[in-house]
C-alpha cells in the first residue's frame, strides 16, 4: 500500500488526534520499562516480557470528552493475545470491577465505546455495529461491562506482553492501521471528525482536541488561564516595584528566591494590610513595612520591596489567584459559571446551603473554581460553613487567624492521605452551594473545640479549589521510584504545580513556569520551608502540553517520587490542551 494512503493523517493546527504518549507509561504488573512506539506513536510493542502500558495523549473525562470511540488492531505472532487494553480511574487505581480490560488478538480489530459519566463500556470485534446495537448504545442500554469511575478523568492503558506482540491504534487519524488493513469505507465520529474503519455509534466522539470542550474559561471569548492565575517573577530594588498581572488578584502568595525569608500570603478578605507565613504557624499579622503587596488593581499590584538593606538584589516570585473580588462585611461576592453576578448576603448564602455558621465574608468564582471564606468559629463539633462554590472542593486550606499556635489544615478530597486531614473530616454538601464541615480529626477523634478549624470566637480563613477543565487540576499519582517518573495528565500545560506526599515525610514542593521556563524544571521551593530557591535534580518535572512528567536522578527524593508513594497535587494552567497547546 503506498505510504501516502496511511502516512497522511487529518491532524491540523486546530485539531490534533490522540496518539500514544511515550512519557505516559505505567507498570501494570510486569517489567518496569516503557514500550517501543512507532508509526507516529500509534503502534506499540513490548521491549521485553512485561506488562506495562502507555496512555494516549488525550484522556476522556466526565467534564471533557465523556463518550469516546476508538479502534485497536492486534499485530504480532500470537493468534490469541497480542495486547490488552485496561481502563482505570483518574487516580491510577482499579475500577469496579477490578482490571476492566480486553485482550486484542492477532489481526483482530476491537472497537470500544466508553461512556465515562455513566460508567458503561461496549466492545465490538471485527465487524460493523449492528443497527440494533447502535440504538442500544445511543440509549445507554445493555453495556458489555459497567464500572464506577470515582474521579473525573478515566485512564486508558494500552499494554503488551512480549516483544513480538502489540497493537496499532486508530483514534480517528488512520483507519488502515499503518497500512495493514484497508477499509472498504471510512466513517467520522458524531461531530463529523476523524476517519474510522467501522462506523461509530451515535453520540460517540474521537479523542481529539477539537472535541475537547472549552469549559467555563473560554478562549473563544478571549478568556485565558492567565486571567485567573499567574506566576510572576521580578527583581527587587529595595523600593516599590510594579508587578503586572492583567487581573485583580484576591490571593497573592510571595516568596523570595535567594535570601531565605518566609513565605507571605495576603488576600482581599483579610485586607492587604495583613499577611501570614505558610512555613510556620502564627496568626494573621499586620504588614511590618515591606516585603508585601499593596495597591492591588486590575493591572496587577505594587510590591513594597523596602524591607532591609539586603533586599535590593533579591529575586522574587508571586503566585496569584483571582476569586470574585473584595467583598464588604456580610457580603458573598459570587461570579457564576456563565460569568454573571450572583452576589448575595452571607446570611442568604448560609440559608441557601443549610450551613450552621454565617461567614463574615465570601469571595467565590464559580468559573475558575476558587473561593475564599472568612468566618468565626463556634468551638463546637458539627459546625458547617458555606464555601460559595457550586461544586464540592477538591482541595481546602484552613488557617486560624487569631491563634498563632494553630497549624495550617489542608485536606485533599482526591485521596485519603495520612499526613493531612482525612477526606471525611470536611462534610461536603450539595453541588449547589455546599458546605464545609469543620470537625477537626486528630488520631481518629473528631472535635472542633481545639481551634484548628473552628476555635470559639476566633476568625478563620478557608481557601477552596475544585478542578476546572482546561484550567486547574487537583489530583493524585503513585510514584515509581525511578528517574523516569510517572506522567500526570492534566489536560493543559501547567504554569504551577504543588506536590505533597501523603504516606511518607515530604515537603510541599512548588514548581512553576515563571522560575523554570525550560524543561527539566527543577527550581525547587517548598511551601513549608523558608529556604531559598535551589535547583534540585531529585525534585524535577517536565511541563508538557497536557500535564507534567516527574523526573529526577537517583536517589529519588521522597518529596515527589518515592516507590509506591502516594502524592497529591494542585496544578494551574498556562495554556489549555484544546488551545491547541504546545510542549516546551
Within this chain, do residues 440 and 480 fall inside the same structural domain, yes or no?
no
Within this chain, do residues 174 and 239 fall inside the same structural domain, yes or no?
no
- Single out the residue in 211, 238, 270 at which a domain terminates: 211
Within this chain, do residues 32 and 110 fall inside the same structural domain, yes or no?
yes
The rounded distance, in Å, linking the Cα atoms of 582 and 584 is 6
The answer to the question of residue 362 being in a domain is: yes
The answer to the question of residue 500 being in a domain is: yes
The rounded distance, in Å, linking the Cα atoms of 570 and 467 is 9
What was the pLDDT predicted at 329?
97
Within this chain, do residues 488 and 537 fall inside the same structural domain, yes or no?
yes
Within this chain, do residues 491 and 449 fall inside the same structural domain, yes or no?
no
- Single out the residue in 443, 465, 487 at which a domain terminates: 465
Within this chain, do residues 534 and 487 fall inside the same structural domain, yes or no?
yes
The answer to the question of residue 236 being in a domain is: yes
Within this chain, do residues 136 and 258 fall inside the same structural domain, yes or no?
no
The answer to the question of residue 216 being in a domain is: no
What was the pLDDT predicted at 411?
78
What was the pLDDT predicted at 423?
32
The rounded distance, in Å, linking the Cα atoms of 245 and 374 is 25
The answer to the question of residue 220 being in a domain is: no
The rounded distance, in Å, linking the Cα atoms of 433 and 425 is 18
The answer to the question of residue 251 being in a domain is: yes
Residues 6+ apart with CB under 8 A from 31: 47, 48, 49, 50, 51, 52
Residues of the chain with pLDDT under 70: 1-7, 11-13, 27-34, 48-51, 78-82, 89-101, 307-313, 413-433, 440-450, 553-557, 579-581, 583
The answer to the question of residue 581 being in a domain is: no
Within this chain, do residues 156 and 43 fall inside the same structural domain, yes or no?
yes
Residues 6+ apart with CB under 8 A from 567: 476, 477, 478, 479, 499, 500, 501, 502, 560, 561
Cell 443549610 maps to which residue? 354
* Count of domains observed in the chain: 4
The rounded distance, in Å, linking the Cα atoms of 351 and 349 is 5
Within this chain, do residues 139 and 35 fall inside the same structural domain, yes or no?
yes
Q: What is the pTM of this model?
A: 0.89
Within this chain, do residues 40 and 103 fall inside the same structural domain, yes or no?
yes
Average pLDDT, the chain: 84
- Single out the residue in 465, 492, 518 at which a domain terminates: 465
Domain that holds residue 305: 225-321
What was the pLDDT predicted at 413?
67
The answer to the question of residue 217 being in a domain is: no
Contact between 294 and 301 under an 8 Å Cβ cutoff? The reply is yes
The torsion angles phi and psi of 14, rounded to 5 degrees, stand at -105, 0
Within this chain, do residues 336 and 313 fall inside the same structural domain, yes or no?
no
Amino acid at each position: 500500500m503506498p505510504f501516502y494512503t496511511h502516512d497522511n493523517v487529518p491532524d491540523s493546527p486546530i485539531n490534533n488526534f490522540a496518539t500514544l504518549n511515550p512519557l505516559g507509561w505505567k507498570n501494570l504488573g510486569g517489567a518496569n520499562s516503557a514500550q517501543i512506539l512507532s508509526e507516529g506513536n500509534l503502534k506499540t510493542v513490548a521491549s521485553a516480557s512485561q506488562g506495562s502500558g502507555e496512555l494516549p495523549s488525550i484522556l476522556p473525562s466526565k467534564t471533557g470528552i465523556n463518550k469516546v470511540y476508538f479502534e485497536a488492531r492486534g499485530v504480532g505472532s500470537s493468534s490469541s493475545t497480542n495486547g490488552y487494553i485496561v481502563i482505570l480511574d483518574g487516580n491510577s487505581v482499579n475500577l469496579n470491577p477490578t482490571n476492566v480490560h480486553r485482550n486484542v488478538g492477532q489481526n483482530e480489530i476491537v472497537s470500544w465505546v466508553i461512556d465515562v459519566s455513566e460508567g458503561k463500556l461496549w466492545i465490538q470485534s471485527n465487524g460493523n455495529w449492528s443497527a440494533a446495537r447502535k440504538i442500544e448504545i445511543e440509549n445507554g442500554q445493555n453495556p458489555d461491562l459497567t464500572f464506577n469511575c470515582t474521579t473525573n478523568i478515566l485512564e486508558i492503558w494500552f499494554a503488551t506482553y512480549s516483544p513480538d506482540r502489540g497493537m496499532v491504534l486508530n483514534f480517528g487519524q488512520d483507519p488502515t492501521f499503518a497500512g495493514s488493513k484497508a477499509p472498504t469505507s471510512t466513517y467520522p465520529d458524531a461531530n463529523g471528525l476523524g476517519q474510522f474503519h467501522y462506523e461509530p455509534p451515535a453520540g460517540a466522539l474521537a479523542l481529539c482536541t477539537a472535541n475537547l470542550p472549552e469549559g467555563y474559561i473560554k478562549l473563544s471569548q478571549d478568556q485565558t488561564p492567565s486571567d485567573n492565575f499567574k506566576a510572576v517573577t521580578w527583581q527587587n530594588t529595595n523600593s516599590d516595584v510594579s508587578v503586572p498581572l492583567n487581573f485583580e488578584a484576591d490571593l497573592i502568595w510571595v516568596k523570595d528566591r535567594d535570601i531565605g525569608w518566609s513565605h507571605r500570603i495576603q488576600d482581599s478578605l483579610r485586607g492587604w494590610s495583613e499577611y501570614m507565613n505558610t512555613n510556620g504557624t502564627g496568626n494573621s499579622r499586620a504588614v511590618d513595612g515591606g516585603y508585601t503587596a499593596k495597591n492591588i488593581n486590575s493591572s496587577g499590584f505594587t510590591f513594597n520591596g523596602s524591607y532591609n538593606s539586603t533586599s535590593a538584589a533579591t529575586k522574587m516570585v508571586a503566585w496569584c489567584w483571582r476569586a470574585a473580588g473584595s467583598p464588604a462585611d456580610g457580603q458573598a461576592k459570587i461570579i457564576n459559571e456563565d460569568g454573571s453576578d450572583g452576589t448575595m448576603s452571607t446570611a442568604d448564602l448560609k440559608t441557601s446551603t443549610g450551613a450552621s455558621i454565617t461567614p463574615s465574608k465570601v469571595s467565590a468564582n464559580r468559573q475558575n473554581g476558587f473561593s475564599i471564606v472568612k468566618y468565626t468559629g463556634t468551638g463546637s463539633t458539627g459546625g458547617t460553613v458555606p464555601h460559595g462554590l457550586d461544586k464540592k472542593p477538591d482541595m481546602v486550606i484552613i488557617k486560624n487567624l487569631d491563634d498563632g499556635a494553630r497549624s495550617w489544615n489542608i485536606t485533599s478530597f482526591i485521596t485519603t492521605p495520612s499526613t493531612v486531614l482525612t477526606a471525611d473530616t470536611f462534610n461536603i454538601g450539595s453541588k449547589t452551594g455546599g458546605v464545609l464541615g469543620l470537625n477537626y480529626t486528630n488520631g481518629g477523634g473528631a472535635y472542633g473545640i481545639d481551634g484548628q478549624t473552628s476555635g470559639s470566637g476566633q476568625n478563620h480563613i478557608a481557601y477552596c479549589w475544585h478542578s476546572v477543565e482546561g484550567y486547574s487540576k487537583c489530583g493524585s499519582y503513585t510514584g515509581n521510584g525511578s528517574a523516569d517518573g510517572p506522567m500526570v495528565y492534566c489536560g493543559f500545560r501547567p504554569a504551577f504545580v504543588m506536590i505533597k506526599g501523603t504516606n511518607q515525610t515530604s515537603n510541599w514542593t512548588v514548581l512553576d513556569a515563571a522560575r523554570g521556563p525550560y524543561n527539566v524544571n527543577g527550581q525547587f521551593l517548598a511551601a513549608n520551608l523558608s529556604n531559598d530557591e535551589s535547583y534540585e535534580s531529585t525534585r524535577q518535572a517536565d511541563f508538557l502540553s497536557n500535564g507534567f512528567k516527574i523526573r529526577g536522578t537517583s536517589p529519588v527524593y521522597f518529596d515527589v517520587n518515592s516507590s509506591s508513594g502516594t502524592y497529591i497535587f494542585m496544578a494551574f494552567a498556562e495554556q489549555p490542551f484544546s488551545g491547541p497547546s504546545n510542549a516546551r
